[in-house]
Amino acid sequence: MQRREFLKLMGIVSGGAVLSSCGEDPHKKLISHVVPREGEVPGMAALYPSTCTECGAGCGIWVRVRERNPFKLEGMPGHPINDGALCIRGQASLSRLLHPDRITAPRRRTNTGDYQDVSWEQAMADVEQALSESGGRQVYLAGRTTGSLAALIDEFCRTRSFDRAPEVERFNHEAIRFAGDALFGRKSVPQYHLAEADVLVSLGADLLETFVSPVNFARQFAAALEKEQRWYHLEPHFSLTGNRASRRLVIRPDSEPYLLAWLLRAVPARRDLPAAVAAAVPAVTAEAAARQTGLPVTVIEELRDALRASSNPLLLAGGVALAGNNGRLTAVLAALLQWSLDMVGRTVDYERHENYETVGGAADFAGLVDALSDKQIGVLLISRLYHLDHVPSLRDALCGARFRVGLTDFMYPPYDGCDVILPLSHSLESWDDVEPRHGVISLIKPVFRPLHDTLSEGDILLQMMNNGLNYRTYLARRWGTIGRELLDQGWVIRDTEETTPTLQAGAPPPVITIQEPPADKTLVVVPSLRTFDGRSRVLTLLHEIPDPIATITYGNWVTLSVADADTLGITDGQELDIRTSGAGLRLPVKTHPQLAAGRVMVHTDQLDGLALPRDASSGEPLGILPIDSWQATGTRIDVPILSGSFTGAVGRGILPHDKPHHGPAHGGDDHATEHPPATLYPPKEYSRYRWALAIDLDRCIGCSACVAACYIENNVAIVGPDEHRIGREMAWLRIEPHLSRDGRMFFIPVMCQHCENAPCEAVCPVYATYHGSEGLNQQVYNRCVGTRYCANNCPYKVRRFNWFDHEWPSPLNLMLNPDVSVRPKGVMEKCTFCIQRIRQGKDHAKDQGRQVKDGEFTTACAQSCPTGAITFGNLLDRSSRIYALAQSPRAYRLLEGIGTEPAVYYLSKKRENA
Amino acid sequence: MKRYLPLILVAYFIGCLLLILVLARQWQDTGQAPEQPIAFSHPIHAGNLGLECTYCHQTVARSPQATVPPVSLCMECHKNAAIDRPEVQKLRGFWERQEPIHWQRVYQLPWHAVFNHKRHIKAGVDCSFCHGELKAQARVRQVRSLMMGWCVSCHRSRNAPTDCWTCHK
């Protein structure tokens, strides 16, 4: 090509580019209100109280709303369940409201099996017609329901002659409720007062992850840290909960009854057991208990001594400890211990129990399954079901109903083939209340007009009852005198008429024979921190955040011990074929250094509908399965794994007391003393503020709530699995699991360290990254030209580059934080210490003519943390919490030896065994 | 041909200049002073009637946004006042339909910048410093460039913060 031609061509191309950039409408609109909403100031976030409904725990939330769009959920301070914190799933649940795949209008199934949108009148008319014509029984089958809606469903079932089936919940704590029923006549899950116990022994229950009310337990854990509680956690696998206990004891799966039976006899009873009951407890010697559980005798004796010496102990069993063949027995023995050591009424609270009475066990559905199979059911109404894989008989029998009506927000598997689908509003679009714990009522209040043509379940039922009420008025009547307080405060605690039960003297001693636990390799099926029982799988954000244990983002996997992986000769990502009794599984593996040999861990929702064998006595699916055989298939699957975790960081100055040393050739001296930090730049001076963050590793449980909060607060893009595989995730904050030299596991949240001598600042050719007057390392997006020098020079690897323009598919774009920009492609980005919150905090303080007070505002990560591990503040304020923490002897900074002087202080753990 | 060359060149440049002027005028009309759904007159309301700016832009001193008034506020007067005027009838149409008014934004910042009205009002910056004399603007137009240099020069002279993240988001 000639030079002239080239230039001409370039001219045409650049001219075209200029013209094409003019096409956009240059004017945004300023849209007026018709009538302003009281108390709302445009441009300022308003907070509305409500309750999170992502799981049944019932955490109180504040919904941050700007220009009538909810854009962030935060835990409600003072709420009896969660007191200000919110978990990863709760944070992400906002994207359920705005999910592009939500059902937007009522649907009717056509003859071809497809669905067509219809009007509400039409859909309701169809339902009414089916009710009058179909004949047979009518059944209402719903997920766990508490509060006013539960009462309304009862009323509805009475007036419209529906039979109410037991409620469906994957993790129904059947064994705990069985034990409560058998011993105390209370078929409920007690509330556990973790924080009040001086010795806590937990068996299997993943208290800090998914068990009953995890945020509540995490807050109690933080409170217990202050009082030096001794916490033993016994589990066959590895969990975040076990990792945070003072002592994690790895126990042989399903062998808990041996230990508990021994403890029942070995620890002196504080309350007498009836002779019949005492006699029924199997006699187990210390040696037998130790042999069966795989724990040394000294360890189980330590447990005995701790319980004996304790003035207010708590022992509880849950989760995987009750998921084996011995599940019910373990629960009964644990409950007997709770009675004999006088925990009932003190740390085990049946007065304010968790509301699980109406939830059904797998066996409770037998009648419904028979009726469905015999075609006795005319109309079946199903509501809020996510999957029925744990009751496959019911799942397969659903189509036996003549007419099925589904109430849901997404087309989950149980809704396949429903004749009419009635779309439900999200809880942020409806009035309601929940009562997750007996007497604790939490308000659900709409902050958003229904985005689609949807109704709340209450309104649908009231329409079908045809009594002219809407659900809002129904609730107001029901609330009566507590209504005012509920609306003002967001929650109310009612008096309880329940009493502390006593051991039922006439209770027949349950059959106590211990079944032989699996001897060899075991598959342990556990709920997932990110998706619980699978219900949160629709939320894409949760796939974007790595599972803190496996550090995998997208896809399914099994976790394998390092020893077994060596024996099998496989590495991360290679597929393993596992055969258990009646079930086969093929998934890529991820090794974990803390998992005991012979244990394979898999999440419930990663089984993809695999039918699990069931417990002979309760009919519940088992979570402890003996593995008959396993073998590598030879296939390699590219799973996105967070790089550098576990052992990659030892000796690099990331873990506490882990400063780099010179090798023996140099006398093995401390690197930092040999080369004292030096800088070429003059020291920086700050006049009013020097923002800093402190992260207490003693409190960090690795729950990743902060990561989700950061994503949502800062409009961090979701990039999908393909980008993850090539290491292009956009997280500003990540949780890095590391194993120290002495085998302890640390979860280290890493974000931009806002270094005093930031290596990124010196290499930016265009001054797009810049040291601010308050110590922040500022990234100016529109100045950035995308050289990526800064990311290459950052020793903490916290800078993220936008390789593409990222999209928030409508209506997800409504949850973008208006105070934070959406970064275009070609731009570097990173943690800002939530500059928008700093700006607002300073603005507020300036209005009152003062400096920002300590604790007046905080970053999104610190706000969401259930254990209060993250503290944000001004280092120049000598009275601030951050100043005290930065001066603490436990404080250290990452890679201190390289002289970057970060503004993020990490506090090493204080407990010796933690 | 060679004799006319200077003439052609001069004509070419004058032509270009005219084109630029026409385009600039056009841009001024459509870009800097866009046509609004209702031809609201600041000269009448702020000038003749002497209403304070904050009578309508109520949140300017307590929020980052000055905000356009809600339709209900307009209707407080226009229930009775000047109801025969065609523009007021347009307004009443919006009210009857309970429909928000989509005003064309005149002053807009780029995506990467934040601006807080409250801070500037509290610092004693008069509205007209940035928005010009509204009493004289029959149709509101942008009178300041809103370029970074313009912001920074004022920030410097008034000793206001010039940290990047004061304004960049």
pLDDT score, position A26: 52
Q: Decide if B38 touches A, using CB distance below 8 A.
A: no
Report which of A251, A255, A252 is spatially closest to residue A516, judged by C-alpha positions.
A255
Closest CA to A56 of A81, A78, A36, A33: A81
Which of A28, A31, A32 should one mutate to test binding to chain B, selecting the residue with the greatest count of B CBs within 10 A? A32
What is the arithmetic mean of pLDDT over A709-714?
97
- A652 versus A59: which is more confidently predicted? A59
Q: For residue B54, which residues of chain A lie inside 8 Å, CB to CB?
A: none
Res B28 pLDDT > 70: no
- Do A128 and A204 lie in a common domain? no
Nearest alpha-carbon partner for A194 in A246, A265, A145, A236: A246
SS3 A464: helix
Task: Write down the pLDDT at residue A315.
Answer: 97
Closest alpha carbon within chain A to B31? A26
Tell me, yes or no, whether A728 lies in a domain.
yes
- Is the pLDDT at A114 greater than 80? The verdict is yes
Other CB atoms within a 10 A radius of the CB of residue A364 amount to 17
Question: Do A27 and B108 lie within an 8 Å CB cutoff?
Answer: yes
Task: Calculate ∠ Cα A351-A526-A621, nearest 5°.
Answer: 80
User: Is pLDDT above 90 for A371?
Assistant: yes
Single-letter code of the amino acid located at B65: Q
Please tell me the distance from the alpha carbon of residue A389 to that of residue A621, in angstroms, as a whole number. 9
Which range of residues forms the domain containing residue A713?
691-907
Q: Which of A43, A832, A847 sits opposite B65 (nearest CB)?
A: A43
What is the C-alpha separation between A364 and A398, in angstroms, rounded?
Answer: 15
A130 contacts: CB under 8 Å, gap ≥ 6: A378, A379, A402, A403, A405, A419, A420
Tokens of A343: 């925990």
Say if residue A455 is in the same domain as residue A577.
Answer: no
Of B59, B68, B102, the CB nearest to A41: B59
Cross-chain Cβ contact A36/B70 below 8 Å: yes
A786 and A810 in a single domain? The answer is yes
Of A34, A782, A835, the CB nearest to B165: A835
State whether A155 and A203 are in the same domain: no
Decide if pLDDT at A805 tops 90. Answer: yes
- Tens of pLDDT along A745-789? 889 999 999 999 999 999 999 999 999 999 999 999 999 999 999
State ipTM.
Answer: 0.85
Chain B residue numbers touching A770 (CB-CB < 8 A): 164
Q: Is A70 strand, coil or helix? A: strand
Residue A255: give its domain's CATH number: 3.40.228.10
Residues A259 and A349 in one domain: yes
A327: pLDDT strictly greater than 60: yes
Q: Poorest-confidence range of A12-21, A108-117, A292-301, A389-398? A: A12-21
Distance from B111 to chain A by nearest Cα, in Å? 7
Q: pLDDT grade, residue A647 (50/70/90)?
A: low
Of the partner residues B67, B98, B163, the one whose CB lies closest to the CB of residue A43: B67
Contact (CB<8Å) B165/A28? no
pLDDT tens, residue by residue, A412-432: 999 999 999 999 999 999 999
Closest chain A residue by Cα to residue B121: A847
pLDDT at A712 over 70: yes
Residue A23 has pLDDT above 50, yes or no: no
* Residues A33-45 pLDDT 10s: 898 888 788 889 9
pLDDT for residue A645 is more than 60: yes
Q: Identify whether A5 is part of a domain.
A: no
User: How far is the alpha carbon of A673 from chain B, nearest alpha carbon, in Å?
Assistant: 36
Note the pLDDT tens digit of each residue in A564-575: 999 999 999 999
**B72/A36 Cβ within 8 A:** yes
Amino acid A693: pLDDT = 96
Residues A532, A437 share a domain: no
Q: Is B118 an interface residue toward A (CB < 8 Å)?
A: yes
Q: Among A300, A324, A354, where does a domain finish?
A: A354
Residue A212 sits in the same domain as residue A298: yes
B chain contacts of residue A832, beta-carbon cutoff 8 Å: 165
pTM of this structure? 0.92
* Residues contacting residue A424 through CB under 8 Å, at least 6 positions apart: A383, A384, A407, A408, A409, A454, A455, A456, A457, A460
Stated length of chain A:
914
**Which residues in A have their CB inside 8 Å of a CB on B?**
26-36, 41-44, 770, 772-774, 776, 778, 780-782, 819-822, 832, 835-836, 839, 843, 846-847
Instruction: With respect to residue A628, please indicate whether it lies within any of the assigned structural domains.
Output: yes
Confidence of residue A11 (pLDDT cuts 50, 70, 90): low
- Asked if residue A207 and residue A147 are part of one domain, the reply reads no
Q: Residue A772: its chain B contacts at CB < 8 A?
A: 163-165
CA distance A543 to A92: 11
Angle value at C-alpha B115, between B114 and B118, nearest 5 degrees: 140
- What is the pLDDT, as a whole number, of residue A24? 46
Both A605 and A486 in one domain: the answer is: no
Structure letter (DSSP) for residue B30: I
B104 touches chain A (CB under 8 A): yes
Other beta carbons within 10 angstroms of residue B9's beta carbon come to 10
- Taking an 8 Å cut-off on Cβ atoms, the answer to whether B100 and A32 are in contact is yes
- The alpha carbon of residue B50 is apart from the nearest alpha carbon of chain A, in Å, by 23
Look up tokens 């100043």; give the residue.
A883
Give the integer Cα–Cα distance in Å for A277 and A502: 14
DSSP H or E stretch at residue A625: strand A624-636
pLDDT reported for residue A475: 97
Which pLDDT score, from 0 to 100, does residue A393 have? 92
Domain total of chain A: 4
Nearest CA in chain B to A817: B169
Residues of chain A with Cβ-Cβ distance to B111 below 8 Å are: 821-822
Mean confidence (pLDDT) of chain A = 91
- Which tens digits make up the pLDDT trace of B119-166? 999 999 999 999 999 999 999 998 888 899 999 999 999 999 999 999
What is the spatial distance between Cα A846 and Cα A51, in angstroms, rounded to a whole number? 33
A836/B72 Cβ within 8 A = no
Q: Per-residue DSSP letters for A726-771?
A: TT----SSEEEEEE-TTS-EEEEEE-----TT-HHHHH-TT--EEE
**Helix, strand, coil fractions of chain A, as percent rounded to 5:** 30, 20, 50
Residues of B in contact with A66 (CB under 8 A): none
Lowest-confidence region among A60-74, A265-279, A525-539, A802-816: A265-279
SS (H, E, C) A532-570: ECCHHHHCHHHHHCCCCCCCECCCCCEEEEHHHHHHHCC
Per-residue pLDDT of A489-541, as tens digits, reads 999 999 988 889 988 866 656 557 888 888 789 999 999 999 999 999 999 99
Is A510 inside any structural domain? no
Mutate to test the interface with B, among A19, A34, A715, A769 (most CBs of B within 10 A): A34
Tokens of A621: 């699916």
Nearest-by-Cβ selection for B64 from A29, A35, A43 = A43
Is residue B102 within 8 angstroms of chain A, CB to CB?
Answer: yes
Stretch A231-245: mean pLDDT, rounded?
95
Using a CB-CB cut-off of 8 Å, the residues of chain B touching A28 are 105, 108
- B103: chain A residues, CB-CB within 8 Å: 29-32
Determine the pLDDT at residue A65: 93
Residue A643 has pLDDT above 90, yes or no: no
Interatomic CA distance for residues A39 and A65, integer angstroms: 12
How far lies A200's CA from each of A245, A250, A271, A335, in Å? 9, 16, 19, 14
Q: What's the pLDDT tens digit per position in A852-863?
A: 999 999 999 999
* Residue A653 binned pLDDT confidence (cut-offs 50, 70, 90): confident
In a 13 Å sphere around the CA of A370, the CA atoms on its Cβ side amount to 5
> d(Cα A465, Cα A462) in Å, to the nearest integer?
5
| Phi and psi at residue A229, to the nearest 5° | -65, 145
Closest CA to A521 of A455, A587, A565: A565
> What does the alpha-carbon distance between residue A531 and residue A170 come to, in Å, rounded to a whole number?
12
Provide the residue count of chain B.
169
Asked whether the beta carbons of residue A780 and residue B111 sit closer than 8 angstroms, the reply is no
Which residues in chain B are closer than 8 Å to A802, comparing Cβ atoms?
Answer: none
Residues in chain A closer than 8 A to B64 (CB atoms): 43-44
Does residue B89 carry a pLDDT above 60?
yes
CA A24 to the chain's CA centroid: 42
Distance of CA A284 to the CA centre of its chain: 38
In this model, does residue A460 exceed pLDDT 60?
yes
| Cα separation, A752 vs A861, whole angstroms | 13
Is A184 in the same domain as A222? Answer: yes
At A18, the pLDDT band (50, 70, 90 cuts) reads very low
Neighbours of A121 (CB within 10 A): 9
Could you say which of A29, A821, A832 has the minimum Cβ distance to residue B111? A821
Q: Is A628 helix (H, G, I), strand (E, B) or coil?
A: strand
Residue A227 included in any domain: yes
Whether A27 and B118 lie within 8 Å, measured CB to CB: no
Tell whether A715 and A790 lie within a shared domain. yes
Q: Is A66 a member of any domain?
A: no
Minimum Cα–Cα distance from B35: chain A residue: A27
CATH, residue A620:
2.40.40.20
- Tokens representing residue A236 in the block: 């066959």
CA distances from A275 to A264, A279, A281, A717, A769 (A): 13, 6, 10, 64, 75
Any A CB within 8 A of B4 CB: no
Question: Is the pLDDT confidence value at B12 over 60?
Answer: yes
For chain B, which residues make up each domain, given as ranges? 5-167
> Is A190 in the same domain as A306?
yes
